[in-house]
């Protein structure tokens, strides 16, 4: 493949005035959402999905992608100044970032976070550019059995890496697969589980479902237990880290970059796991581990670099295989589908402007984020003071207007509200929404691949066991399930013995 013409073409697309503007809007909104604890990039992308109808697919993906990786930047501001992670991937940043702020070093903490994020994300965009195309070429040789087994492995990894109970994550994934079957059968054309409803005949839309689970649910959760945001009153000072800060942060940034990218590629991985692993690694290799938790700049530089590198790495399975590795990109798949596109290896060949335009926009977006995060810290601090009683009604209004504007169907609003209450109740009992959303998006693709495989084999399930890639994915998935089951059994046994 001629890389240079493709890269030049990508930058030509990204520098078009409309795409450049949407890139800026995306990273600005992403930073804002990262600064404000609450709704997160998943809910924001779900809310903004309807407005992408009126713009080109390239502009839509550029803007929504900007929201995703922009939120990774913004989350550190809240973690350092308020000791509340704006994003789950910034949880670890609270440990040392806030301590640095209490010592009057909020400026260097914010600065090294922004620079580390920029370096990690930019380097990983380069890796993404050269890695995705060969993977996509290999994926074109995949048949239905390989795709089905690969998606089974992806869902297994998502549930295996879930922060809560493995069993609850599996149940949520099964619930998501069940919801994906509502509507017309993709093979036979027979209606299923629609109960005479014209709305359900088209299936449960991804917009009302995602808005309910990640918009309304978040509002209800925050109304019930609003977080008191006490901004540590200290002079932020210079945002530029000194020479000693850079000396201590250089290797954590390098390690965070190299660690974050592969962890972002893993289904269920992404920025959150990358930041935790990076923090643990830095504490282990440090000559002064006792400083961690008391304001060590390495505890900010490494995790913040890793979570941004992980955010970029997540695009590898999305573009190369068409499999979203986390819930935010699962919602982004909805944007692809709304524009009549299917992410995967064919999109790089059939619609190269989507891939190369998005990748080139990431370069521009990261430069914009560096420019936004450092000079506008004062504005972000003021925004942090906006009370929830003002924000939450606006979020609900955006959800209602957004979901109605898709099909102008009031029943979509009803579905959104129902999904919101169900999501709220499930969250109260420790059931995560991410496995459900990923299973819902992958469900139709899994069903189609499964049934095509059986048609090819004339009904024989052995087709999944005679192809090397397929059987390898199934064996690995089975191993993860068995290991989780054994771990659960040991914990239950120890509790019984102690009781």
CA 214 to chain centre: 12
More confident residue, 178 or 54: 178
Cβ–Cβ under 8 Å, residues 260 and 120: yes
Q: What is the average pLDDT value for the chain, to the nearest integer?
A: 82
Strand partners, 191: 184
pLDDT in tens, 143-168: 889 889 988 888 887 777 666 777 88
pLDDT range class, residue 464, cuts 50, 70, 90: very high
Task: Please give the average per-residue pLDDT across 131-153, as a whole number.
Answer: 83
Among 273-287, 380-394, 458-472, name the one with the lowest average pLDDT.
Answer: 380-394
Long-range (24+ apart) CB contacts under 8 A made by 276-282 are 276/91, 276/92, 276/303, 277/306, 278/92, 278/252, 278/302, 278/303, 278/305, 278/306, 278/307, 279/92, 279/95, 279/303, 281/255, 282/252, 282/255
Which residue reads 């970029």 in tokens? 312
Residue 324: which residues within 8 A CB-CB, separation 6 or more? Answer: 314, 317, 318, 330, 332, 333, 343, 438, 441, 442
Q: What is the pLDDT of residues 301-323, one digit of tens each?
A: 888 888 888 888 888 888 888 88
Residue 1 scores a pLDDT above 60: no
DSSP one-letter code for 228:
P
DSSP state of 286: -
What is the average per-residue pLDDT within 377-393?
A: 72
Q: Is the pLDDT of residue 206 over 90?
A: no
Residues 6+ apart with CB under 8 A from 461: 454
The answer on pLDDT for 233 being more than 80 is no
Contact of 52 with 351, CB cutoff 8 Å: no
* Better-scored residue on pLDDT, 422 or 48: 422
Please give the pLDDT value at position 437: 83
Which element (helix H / strand E) includes 12?
Answer: helix 3-14
pLDDT greater than 60 at residue 188: yes
Report the pLDDT value the prediction gives residue 84, as an integer from 0 to 100: 67
pLDDT category of residue 417 using cuts at 50, 70 and 90: very high
Q: Which residue has the higher pLDDT, 359 or 267?
A: 359
In Å, how far from its chain's centre is CA 20?
A: 22
pLDDT at 168: 86
The residue-averaged pLDDT of 416-424 equals 91
- Confidence band, pLDDT 50/70/90 cuts, at residue 211: confident
For residue 499, the model assigns a pLDDT of 57
* pLDDT for 239: 67
Find the distance separating the first CA and the last CA of the chain, reported in whole Å: 64
Please give the model's pTM, rounded to 2 decimal places. Answer: 0.80
Cα 93 from Cα 77, distance rounded (Å) = 9
Q: At residue 268, does pLDDT exceed 70? A: no
* pLDDT value, residue 357: 92
Q: Where are the domains of the chain?
A: 3-494
Residue pair 369/118 in contact (Cβ under 8 Å)? The answer is: yes
Q: How confident is the model at residue 230 (pLDDT cuts 50, 70, 90)?
A: low
**243 Ramachandran zone, left/alpha/beta (phi>0; psi -120 to 50):** alpha
Give the mean model confidence (pLDDT) for residues 455-476.
90
- Taking residues 93-115, what's their average pLDDT? 83
Per DSSP, the residues of 150-207 read HHHHHHHHHHHT-SS-HHHHHHHHHHHHHHHT-EE-TTT--EES-TT-HHHHT---HH
Average pLDDT over residues 330-351: 82
For the chain, give the longest Cα–Cα distance. 71
Question: 234 burial class (0-12, 13-18, 19+ CB within 10 angstroms)?
Answer: middle
Dihedral of the CA atoms 485, 489, 495, 498 (nearest 10)?
Answer: -150
């Amino acid at each position: 493949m001629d890389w240079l013409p493709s890269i030049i073409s990508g930058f030509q697309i990204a520098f078009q005035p409309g795409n450049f503007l949407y890139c800026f809007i995306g990273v600005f909104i992403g930073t804002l959402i990262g600064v404000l604890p609450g709704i997160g990039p998943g809910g924001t992308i779900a809310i903004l999905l309807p407005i992408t109808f009126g713009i080109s697919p390239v502009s839509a993906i550029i803007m929504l992608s900007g929201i995703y990786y922009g939120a990774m930047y913004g989350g550190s501001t809240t973690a350092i100044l308020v000791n509340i992670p704006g994003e789950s991937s910034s949880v670890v940043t609270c440990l040392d970032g806030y301590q640095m702020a209490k010592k009057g070093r909020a400026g260097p903490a914010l600065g090294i976070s922004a620079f580390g994020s920029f370096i990690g994300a930019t380097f990983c965009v380069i890796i993404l550019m050269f890695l995705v195309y060969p993977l996509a070429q290999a994926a074109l040789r995949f048949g239905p059995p390989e795709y089905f087994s690969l998606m089974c492995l992806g869902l297994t990894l998502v549930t295996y890496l879930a922060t809560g109970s493995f069993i609850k994550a599996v149940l949520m994934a099964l619930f998501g697969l069940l919801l994906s079957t509502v509507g017309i059968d993709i093979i036979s054309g027979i209606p299923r589980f629609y109960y005479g409803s014209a709305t359900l005949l088209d299936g449960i839309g991804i917009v009302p479902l995602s808005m309910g689970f990640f918009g309304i649910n978040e509002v209800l959760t925050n109304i019930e237990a609003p977080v008191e945001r006490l901004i540590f009153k200290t002079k932020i000072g210079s945002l530029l880290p000194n020479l000693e800060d850079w000396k201590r942060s250089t290797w954590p940034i390098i390690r965070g970059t190299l660690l974050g990218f592969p962890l972002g590629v893993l289904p269920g991985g992404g920025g959150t796991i990358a930041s935790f692993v990076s923090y643990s690694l830095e504490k282990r290799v440090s000559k002064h581990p006792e400083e961690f938790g008391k304001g060590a700049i390495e505890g900010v530089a490494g995790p913040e670099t890793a979570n941004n590198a992980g955010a970029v790495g997540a695009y590898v399975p999305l573009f190369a295989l068409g499999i979203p590795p986390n819930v935010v990109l699962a919602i982004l798949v909805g944007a692809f589908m709304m524009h009549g596109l299917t992410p995967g290896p064919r999109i790089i060949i059939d619609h190269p402007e989507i891939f190369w335009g998005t990748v080139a926009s990431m370069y521009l977006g990261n430069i914009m984020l560096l420019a936004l995060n450092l000079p506008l810290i004062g504005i972000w601090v003021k925004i942090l003071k906006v009370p929830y009683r003002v924000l939450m009604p606006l979020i609900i209004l955006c959800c209602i207007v957004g979901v109605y504007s898709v099909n102008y169907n009031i029943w979509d609003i009803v579905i959104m509200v129902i999904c919101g209450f169900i999501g709220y109740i499930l969250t109260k009992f420790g059931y995560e929404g991410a496995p459900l959303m990923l299973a819902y998006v992958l469900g139709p693709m899994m069903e189609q691949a499964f049934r095509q495989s059986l048609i090819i084999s004339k009904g024989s399930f052995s087709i999944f066991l005679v192809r090397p890639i397929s059987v390898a994915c199934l064996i690995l998935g089975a191993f993860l399930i068995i290991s989780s089951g054994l771990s659960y059994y040991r914990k239950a046994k120890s509790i019984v013995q102690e009781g």
